[in-house]
Amino acid sequence: MLSSIIPVGSICSDDAVSFVVWGPFLSDCAIHIYEPEDLTIPMEKDSRGYWRGLLKTHEKKNRIRYKYRINKLKEYPDPASRYQPYGVHDRSEVIDFSAIKKCEITEKRPALDDYVIYELHVGTFTPQGTFEAIIPRLPVLKELGINALELMPISQFPGKRNWGYDGVYPFAVQNSYGGPWGLRKLVDSCHQIGMAVVLDVVYNHLGPEGNYLSQFAPYFTQKYKTPWGEAINYDDAFSDEVRNFFIYNALFWFSEYDIDALRLDAIHAIYDESAYLFLEELADKTIEFCHTFNKTHFLIAESDRNDPKFIYPKTLGGCHLHGQWCDDFHHALHAFITKETKGYYSDFGSLSHVAKAFKQGYVIDGCYSSYRKRKHGRKPQHVKRSQLIVFSQNHDQIGNRYLGERLSCLIDFSELKMICVLTLLSGFIPLLFMGEEYGEKNPFLYFVDHGDPNLLEAVRKGRLKEFADFHGDKEGYDATKQEAFNKSIINWELRTEGTHAILWKLYQHTIALRKKYKSLICTENISPIVNFNEEEKLFFFLFNNKQESLLGITNFDSVERRYLIEEEVYPLGKILDLADEKWSGPGSISPDQLFASSTSIPISPKNIVLYYGC
């Protein structure tokens, strides 16, 4: 670990376990060991408020379970616990990572701009809901073309059912998923086939149940409020050690589990007015860690600010994060195809928005937002296409619908095919949400499993209020019931049946096209030429680097259209036509070759045709 970072929690060495916990205002702190024998170890406080204690042992360090006894009164689990075998309120367990077998023989992992990301929820991706149950499905995902597996948050949360954003132990791997051993096996299995692993981490808040950090130190601040709970203290008094806690957490995932990239949840809720932003410091320490240990790791931000400064280099005043989710791409496609324009979709709905999203990612780029009733965002002038992650579906956009409907239940099969091609061949980094690739029909619902009945009732009322704008009085699922979780488990075998199998093959084929033409569509300084006809619902894009060209024409209308190509292009050959019978289309009416500009091309209803030439 870096010398400037103070490790916290339980750290194993050959002959001892050291314990470190931050508690600057505590008058006393001790380690109460419950297993394998009952004993109490006093701790000493240093000048920065860290309490330290040591357990001498030459034996195996498994099943050492403990709590901290503070001020000689109450006992709490370790805020930096590595494992909570009995849940969020009970004892913490020491994990000797040197004893967890790591696989040293791995395939080369992809660079970030090569990522094709597959986001999944561990609990609902398989009937078993564990890390190890994912492993047999990795070869199928690899065959599809996936090379980066993104896990929704896995830090210990209350109960067995949760999206993971209510986690309260940032270092502890969820016990019901298989704990540290299961995660290590999954990561190794991914790396053995050249697949990267992205982990979703939450640094903007902690969940309410089992959150004991305030008992130890000022981890939170009253200066700000988040939609989900107390704001983490990144810029108030004593914030240096809070930053240390979360930066160490990021480096911990890199060092102990060999996670390739972190997706930083909702950075717009990381409130920080300091001159040296926490996110900038996190990026600096990540870069230092990579240089020190000759490794490669990435930081990907989720933000609704449409502010490119987070991914700008330091020379442009940025935080130098590596990538950023781009919600506008999703919103533009979704609102145009589904015609839903309530809530945050009120800023979208026209083909012009789709064209703008395809060209630069951001749609609301400093212009007026009717949803926010003010100007929003900035132009992404220096953003590379390979820095934006785009998607037509993800856990938020499905699960934050009151009924959890996927696009497969909202639009027709032709439109599902079109969205597949536009997302994967946009030149941005594409992300798929589990089941999207074959048109999964089961919903993905929000679900929780709190032990506190007051929290459960608060969730019920909160969901009703949150989605009133979208669904009014429509009856949805109760997020606190087992049913919501059960209905969200995907039907993996569906991918081999009927049109589901055709859609799976299309995703596979289109991912292969992305790989084949990546050097053209992902070129840093080239944005595609885009044109559109709002009335006729025609959308045109052209990637052209003077050596080769990729041209796409989309007819969103339900009737046949013709598109007049006016751009000067090389002779082009057709490489994809969704009207072909093999894609369950009615048969192609578009020509196989294009020889000159000023050519009028017929396009089947709800269809995309692609041409390539060099």
Q: Rounded CA gap, 537 and 561, in Å?
A: 9
Which residue is listed with tokens 């937002």?
A: 369
Phi, psi of 353 (to 5 degrees): -70, -40
Q: Are 95 and 89 in contact (CB under 8 A)?
A: no
Q: Rounded CA gap, 330 and 432, in Å?
A: 12
Q: Rounded CA gap, 30 and 354, in Å?
A: 59
Q: Rounded CA gap, 233 and 218, in Å?
A: 7
Q: Is 302 a catalytic residue?
A: yes
Give yes or no for a cis peptide into 36 (omega within 30° of 0).
yes
Which residue is listed with tokens 């053995």?
A: 192
Nearest to 379 by CA among 399, 364, 390, 389: 364
Which residue is listed with tokens 């149940």?
A: 209
Among residues 150, 302, 328, 449, the one annotated as catalytic is: 302
Q: Are 167 and 115 in contact (CB under 8 A)?
A: no
Burial 501-517 (b: 16+ CB within 10 A, else e): ebbbbbbebbbebbeeb
Structure-block tokens of residue 277: 């932003």
Structure-block tokens of residue 207: 């969940």
What's the distance, CA 589 to chain centroid?
A: 40
Q: What 8-state DSSP symbol labels residue 583?
A: G
Q: How far, CA to CA in Å, does 412 sit from each of 8, 406, 472?
A: 52, 12, 25
Among residues 119, 235, 265, 449, the one annotated as catalytic is: 265
Q: Rounded CA gap, 210 and 158, in Å?
A: 7
Nearest to 395 by CA among 62, 125, 152: 152
Q: Are 250 and 243 in contact (CB under 8 A)?
A: no
Task: Enumerate residues 6+ apart whose C-beta is below 8 A from 10.
Answer: 17, 18, 19, 64, 66, 78, 80, 81, 82, 92, 94, 95
Q: Are 354 and 348 in contact (CB under 8 A)?
A: no
Structure-block tokens of residue 512: 């292969």
Phi, psi of 499 (to 5 degrees): -65, -20
Q: Are 237 and 218 in contact (CB under 8 A)?
A: yes
Q: Are 71 and 28 in contact (CB under 8 A)?
A: yes
Q: Is 281 a catalytic residue?
A: no
Task: Enumerate residues 6+ apart whose C-beta is below 8 A from 551.
Answer: 540, 541, 542, 543, 565, 567, 569, 572, 594, 610, 611, 612
Q: Rounded CA gap, 362 and 375, in Å?
A: 13
Amino acid at 385: R
Catalytic residue numbers?
Answer: 265, 302
